[in-house]
Structure 1
């Protein structure tokens, strides 16, 4: 590629050459013009002078011939010669009055009498010496001689006058030429200055153009770098990673060494972001990028795939070598401590590993497999590595959840979700005849098939869709309550589950409060169920949400109570209205002494703290009888009521023991909304 300096030198040489040719051309043209003028002057001057001198010479020859003719007497030859001289003289006289000589005579008005006098003399001679000369006549010829002699002075005057005029004309012509030369020289100088100015401007523009070209080259390189690199960390971005991965897939041969692909996900990145803000998260990503770069070989590829995810292509690594590198990276990240504003954080990472063994056909498939392996590693606990294999049960479980997530997303978009309900039955006499209590449940309607919520809600929780599902359930339930407001006097309470994700989501809190304030539903009609694990995960936020909901006339139940490690210790900080006993204590209640003691303890704590209890998952009369003995306030399960569409609540009657459906065993979790 030609350098900018070489281009500028070539342009300068071209400009100098052009200027030299231009100035030389102007000088050559001036010289040609001067020579042409000089030749013209010389020609004009010699022609005019020669005509006058020839006229004078012919005049003298005529006079001389006349004298000779008179001296020699009657001779026809002499008369013919005399006539010839006359005719030549007359011809010369006519030439003096034509062309440049004639123009000069007309300008010299002082010579007009001379010309007129000579014209009369020639006119007087014409009858004797014209085209048909008369015979020799000595008398007439003798009279002609003094006339001709008398005009010699005028002929001389005419020649001298013409010479003076010619010299004057030449002087004027030379003056004009000098003025023209001055003008031409000035024009040439101006033209040269313009050429110099043009050359200067051209060089300046060339310099600016090359400077601009350099800037554009730099900008192009910068834009190319931005297109293939992550602005945050300076590492390759996802597109560049996929491009390089695709090239490796094309170049790999079955006999060559394998490549390993790592999918790295930081385990506690969200904790840093939540505690210190996004600025700290950005700094963490940069430091992790540097740490990973220092741990890899120069020919390996490291990229930030997005968020807190990184990708690595290990060039020519066996499976054992790739596993060792992945474990070393995990160890380094586990030992790394991120410090920000005086706070120290342990990070760690989950790593999925895929080996490129020649059977992969696309970079997208490799990344999807590596992401699946990474998910399994994260599910097994912090700071783990999982190697992808075709027949991997954990990978299949992940793919199954991905499948259900897609079905759930489609159901939300295409309005395929349906609201069901299940009765909550009073178990104590003082709770009878207070109206129907029930819990809102969720089902997926696909054609004629009705699908329970267990897999849907597991996928929603895994892929962060729980709040979206909760918003749909709440909106649909409140719409139904408003639509049937006048027909729901027999309904005492209707419970709606909130997912753990929604409990910690401030945006969801605002949505829920706005919906409740906008609907103006009767106080005490709604109960929101919050799982115990979600409540104690952020007890301050949970307590604030509970008090806000209660201030709007809504009750709150602590769901799955007893499943947490410190249930009783946290209970005094959560002002809930109900304790909903976890079904794990109910299923084997009739045969398990531990479950019996746990349920009795929960009932005693609820009585002391002034809270009502609800047991869920009841399937037979034996368990019902035990719960009545333990003074549990309410029960729920297939023992009394099989879930049915929410519209059936409009015709439901108030009864202590509704008709039991003919159903053998309740599928665990099939009747619950647990986003």
Structure 2
């Protein structure tokens, strides 16, 4: 096996050899360039000299031909030869003024008069010897002969000057080449030094690169681990769990034993978080992860799916075996006690179980089914295992709630929710003519269809969206009240319902108080309704919220009063303004003696404690008459008023008695439903 040092040495030797060849190659190329320039200068020099000498020769030939023509007299062949000589000389003269020869001639300013004089001579001959000659004139041509002969010295001066200039130019070029050669030599030496320096730096970089490569390998392994594992517990994360589950689905064969998938949800994780803070919750997750790891086989897959949820893939387990493992995990978690800062907590877990077989096509579908089964287990009382079955009614109900939750989420995003109202009617004479009282209701508008919110609000409660819905209702209602402030003098009170989740949500409390303080609506216009069960669930938070709202001039009603246990005992700790009698006591009031006694008792307690009463769900005149006899203050129901858009409140008449629809039960989905 080759050592890293040997590999680096060979690499360094290769680099040095390559650089040496590069230096030699550069020197050789410079030498070739110098020789090429020398050859070019020589060729150029010979071309220029040849042009000047040819001009001199043609000048002499023209002069001799002129003499012969004058001596022999006018002969056609002599004149043709004379014209040819003139044209050749003129062509040579033009060549001397072009290219390198012309450039050299222009640099020799002392030769400019010579060139001009020769140009005038040739111009004088052109009328007689050019392309369109005049008739033969011996006298004028005779006068030209001495002029041509007189310029012969200047022609020779021109040729001599060109030779001197050419030699001077060649000397300059040679000097430049020598300077370039010296520069090349110095550059080559410098390059050789750079090669040595580069070799040293290369060796150092190779060593650093090897070190960096090791570091990158370690970093890559760490990043890969982070991408597939949960930082809190060190277990596989949700993405890695789904990847392994997907591979398992692909590899399953019909004859193989089934695999089981567990969806584990801790039952009391929120209690630990609320009591001891997030640090305690994090520690609990780590300890639960260790406990589950110790309880499973090495071949099984355990992952934290998020929050307080864990997932398990039980490899090659029958349904009976998977159920037994799930129940054992439930028992271990139920017996486990989490201790933090001297406090002990019982945790427990709800587990959904799905058996893998050929019908499953995706990991996402398996996880959704396992989550549905886990929900059913938690709904049955927690610390239970529920096996997913396709025809399970409980799971179908869960899926239905999921469907309504998605519709609600879409309605909030797409502004499909609408505000309605229903009148609250005074039943006692002393409550008449004090203005209209009403309750704000919620409806879902999907196209032309208006949908009651029963299932929407059930889904909101189940999936923790109730506070979001309440925020929308409050914001929309207060916006409407501000917009129509001047047209609402006839409205005494408008009631808005708060969900149980909102009553215990501190962030919602801050939102509500901020909205009321910044709106500056007339005091006493608003009533907030809190259900009795929500108020009792966290009585301290409820009492604080009630007092805060009343301090802002808002009244509070205890809704569904009588449905909770020990209602009268809790009432003294809840300083509300209204008691809203649960509709379960109103529906059969005309025929049920127990309901009659209960309603009378509530009215007596309300009178003693100084609270007003409202009966809801009234659908006929018989019940109305009984409630008047019991001195109930207000009534609400389809007996008087069917819910209508909130805008109708602007035209509502205080004195007019509301229209009474036909008696009988309301149609499904159209009844009195509060947000």
Q: TM-score, normalised by structure 1?
A: 0.72
Q: Which stretch of the first structure deviates more once superposed, 185-194 or 224-233?
A: 185-194
Q: Gaps spanning 5+ residues in structure 1: where?
A: none
Q: Any conservation in 2 of the 1:577–1:612 contact (CA below 8 Å)?
A: yes
Q: Any conservation in 1 of the 2:452–2:673 contact (CA below 8 Å)?
A: no
Given the superposition, is the C-alpha separation of residues 312 and 182 from structure 1 closer, same or farther in structure 2, using an over 3 Å criterion? same
Shift of residue 123 of structure 1? 62
Q: Deviations over 1:400-456 (max 9, x none)?
A: 111111111111122111111111111222212211111111111112211111011
Work out whether 1:322 is the aligned partner of 2:322: yes
Shift of residue 572 of structure 1? 1.1
Paired with 2:152 and 2:265, the residues of 1 have a C-alpha distance of: 130
Q: Which stretch of the first structure deviates more once superposed, 334-343 or 4-13?
A: 4-13
Given the superposition, is the C-alpha separation of residues 417 and 2 from structure 1 closer, same or farther in structure 2, using an over 3 Å criterion? farther
Q: Deviations over 1:561-618 (max 9, x none)?
A: 1111132222111111011111112222222222222222222221221111111111
Q: Find the counterpart in structure 2 of residue 558 from structure 1.
A: 558
Given the superposition, is the C-alpha separation of residues 202 and 622 from structure 1 closer, same or farther in structure 2, using an over 3 Å criterion? same
Shift of residue 654 of structure 1? 2.3
Shift of residue 650 of structure 1? 1.7
Shift of residue 625 of structure 1? 2.2
Q: Any conservation in 2 of the 1:579–1:612 contact (CA below 8 Å)?
A: yes
Secondary structure of the residue that 2:493 maps to in structure 1? strand
Question: Which of these two proteins has the greater Rg computed from alpha carbons?
Answer: 1
Given the superposition, is the C-alpha separation of residues 316 and 659 from structure 1 closer, same or farther in structure 2, using an over 3 Å criterion? same
Q: Any conservation in 2 of the 1:348–1:383 contact (CA below 8 Å)?
A: yes
Given the superposition, is the C-alpha separation of residues 318 and 184 from structure 1 closer, same or farther in structure 2, using an over 3 Å criterion? same
Q: Which stretch of the first structure deviates more once superposed, 112-121 or 202-211?
A: 112-121
Paired with 1:599 and 1:547, the residues of 2 have a C-alpha distance of: 27
Q: Any conservation in 2 of the 1:453–1:671 contact (CA below 8 Å)?
A: no
Paired with 1:595 and 1:500, the residues of 2 have a C-alpha distance of: 26
Given the superposition, is the C-alpha separation of residues 437 and 32 from structure 1 closer, same or farther in structure 2, using an over 3 Å criterion? closer
Q: Any conservation in 2 of the 1:334–1:383 contact (CA below 8 Å)?
A: yes
Shift of residue 626 of structure 1? 2.2
Shift of residue 655 of structure 1? 4.3
Secondary structure of the residue that 1:661 maps to in structure 2? coil
Q: Any conservation in 2 of the 1:457–1:673 contact (CA below 8 Å)?
A: no
Q: Any conservation in 1 of the 2:353–2:386 contact (CA below 8 Å)?
A: yes
Aligned length: 675
Paired with 1:569 and 1:347, the residues of 2 have a C-alpha distance of: 31
Paired with 1:608 and 1:410, the residues of 2 have a C-alpha distance of: 47
Q: Which stretch of the first structure deviates more once superposed, 323-332 or 53-62?
A: 53-62
Paired with 1:52 and 1:422, the residues of 2 have a C-alpha distance of: 119
Q: TM-score, normalised by structure 2?
A: 0.72
Q: Any conservation in 2 of the 1:454–1:670 contact (CA below 8 Å)?
A: no
Q: Any conservation in 2 of the 1:378–1:384 contact (CA below 8 Å)?
A: yes
Paired with 2:138 and 2:448, the residues of 1 have a C-alpha distance of: 159
Paired with 1:242 and 1:578, the residues of 2 have a C-alpha distance of: 53
Shift of residue 200 of structure 1? 5.9
Given the superposition, is the C-alpha separation of residues 180 and 489 from structure 1 closer, same or farther in structure 2, using an over 3 Å criterion? closer
Q: Deviations over 1:19-70 (max 9, x none)?
A: 9999999999999999999999999999999999999999999999999999
Secondary structure of the residue that 1:672 maps to in structure 2? coil
Secondary structure of the residue that 2:219 maps to in structure 1? helix
Given the superposition, is the C-alpha separation of residues 536 and 18 from structure 1 closer, same or farther in structure 2, using an over 3 Å criterion? same
Q: Which stretch of the first structure deviates more once superposed, 116-125 or 652-661?
A: 116-125
Q: Any conservation in 1 of the 2:27–2:184 contact (CA below 8 Å)?
A: no
Paired with 2:446 and 2:75, the residues of 1 have a C-alpha distance of: 152
Shift of residue 205 of structure 1? 2.9
Paired with 2:88 and 2:435, the residues of 1 have a C-alpha distance of: 156
Given the superposition, is the C-alpha separation of residues 4 and 590 from structure 1 closer, same or farther in structure 2, using an over 3 Å criterion? farther
Secondary structure of the residue that 1:313 maps to in structure 2? strand
Q: Deviations over 1:451-498 (max 9, x none)?
A: 111011111111111111111111111122122222222211110001
Secondary structure of the residue that 1:23 maps to in structure 2? helix
Given the superposition, is the C-alpha separation of residues 31 and 338 from structure 1 closer, same or farther in structure 2, using an over 3 Å criterion? same
Q: Any conservation in 2 of the 1:75–1:136 contact (CA below 8 Å)?
A: no
Given the superposition, is the C-alpha separation of residues 667 and 576 from structure 1 closer, same or farther in structure 2, using an over 3 Å criterion? farther
Shift of residue 199 of structure 1? 6.3
Q: Find the counterpart in structure 1 of residue 461 from structure 2.
A: 461
Q: Any conservation in 2 of the 1:441–1:671 contact (CA below 8 Å)?
A: no
Given the superposition, is the C-alpha separation of residues 24 and 565 from structure 1 closer, same or farther in structure 2, using an over 3 Å criterion? same
Given the superposition, is the C-alpha separation of residues 72 and 598 from structure 1 closer, same or farther in structure 2, using an over 3 Å criterion? closer
Q: Find the counterpart in structure 2 of residue 574 from structure 1.
A: 574
Shift of residue 209 of structure 1? 1.4
Q: Which stretch of the first structure deviates more once superposed, 217-226 or 51-60?
A: 51-60
Paired with 2:328 and 2:359, the residues of 1 have a C-alpha distance of: 27
Paired with 1:446 and 1:198, the residues of 2 have a C-alpha distance of: 75
Paired with 1:369 and 1:269, the residues of 2 have a C-alpha distance of: 22
Q: Any conservation in 1 of the 2:304–2:311 contact (CA below 8 Å)?
A: yes
Q: Deviations over 1:342-367 (max 9, x none)?
A: 11111111111111011111111111
Q: Any conservation in 2 of the 1:264–1:350 contact (CA below 8 Å)?
A: yes
Q: Any conservation in 2 of the 1:579–1:614 contact (CA below 8 Å)?
A: yes
Paired with 2:460 and 2:137, the residues of 1 have a C-alpha distance of: 152
How much is the aligned-residue C-alpha RMSD, in angstroms?
A: 13.1
Paired with 1:600 and 1:454, the residues of 2 have a C-alpha distance of: 29
Secondary structure of the residue that 1:631 maps to in structure 2? coil
Q: How does 1:4-15 map to 2 (within 5 A)?
A: 4=4, 7=7
Q: Any conservation in 2 of the 1:581–1:615 contact (CA below 8 Å)?
A: yes
Q: Deviations over 1:52-104 (max 9, x none)?
A: 99999999999999999999999999999999999999999999999999999
Q: Which stretch of the first structure deviates more once superposed, 610-619 or 160-169?
A: 160-169
Given the superposition, is the C-alpha separation of residues 245 and 26 from structure 1 closer, same or farther in structure 2, using an over 3 Å criterion? closer
Secondary structure of the residue that 1:445 maps to in structure 2? strand
Q: Deviations over 1:607-659 (max 9, x none)?
A: 22111111111122222222222221111111221111112212222248522
Q: Any conservation in 2 of the 1:497–1:673 contact (CA below 8 Å)?
A: no
Q: Which stretch of the first structure deviates more once superposed, 60-69 or 164-173?
A: 60-69
Given the superposition, is the C-alpha separation of residues 617 and 149 from structure 1 closer, same or farther in structure 2, using an over 3 Å criterion? closer
Shift of residue 671 of structure 1? 4.0
Given the superposition, is the C-alpha separation of residues 175 and 311 from structure 1 closer, same or farther in structure 2, using an over 3 Å criterion? closer
Paired with 1:69 and 1:77, the residues of 2 have a C-alpha distance of: 9
Paired with 1:559 and 1:397, the residues of 2 have a C-alpha distance of: 27
Given the superposition, is the C-alpha separation of residues 496 and 4 from structure 1 closer, same or farther in structure 2, using an over 3 Å criterion? farther
Q: Any conservation in 1 of the 2:229–2:236 contact (CA below 8 Å)?
A: yes
Q: Find the counterpart in structure 2 of residue 533 from structure 1.
A: 533
Secondary structure of the residue that 1:632 maps to in structure 2? coil
Given the superposition, is the C-alpha separation of residues 618 and 13 from structure 1 closer, same or farther in structure 2, using an over 3 Å criterion? same
Paired with 1:502 and 1:607, the residues of 2 have a C-alpha distance of: 29
Q: Find the counterpart in structure 2 of residue 652 from structure 1.
A: 652
Secondary structure of the residue that 2:119 maps to in structure 1? helix
Q: Any conservation in 2 of the 1:373–1:395 contact (CA below 8 Å)?
A: yes
Shift of residue 170 of structure 1? 37
Paired with 1:136 and 1:630, the residues of 2 have a C-alpha distance of: 153
Given the superposition, is the C-alpha separation of residues 36 and 419 from structure 1 closer, same or farther in structure 2, using an over 3 Å criterion? closer
Paired with 2:145 and 2:491, the residues of 1 have a C-alpha distance of: 165
Given the superposition, is the C-alpha separation of residues 3 and 526 from structure 1 closer, same or farther in structure 2, using an over 3 Å criterion? farther
Q: Which stretch of the first structure deviates more once superposed, 333-342 or 186-195?
A: 186-195
Paired with 2:143 and 2:481, the residues of 1 have a C-alpha distance of: 157
Given the superposition, is the C-alpha separation of residues 135 and 228 from structure 1 closer, same or farther in structure 2, using an over 3 Å criterion? closer
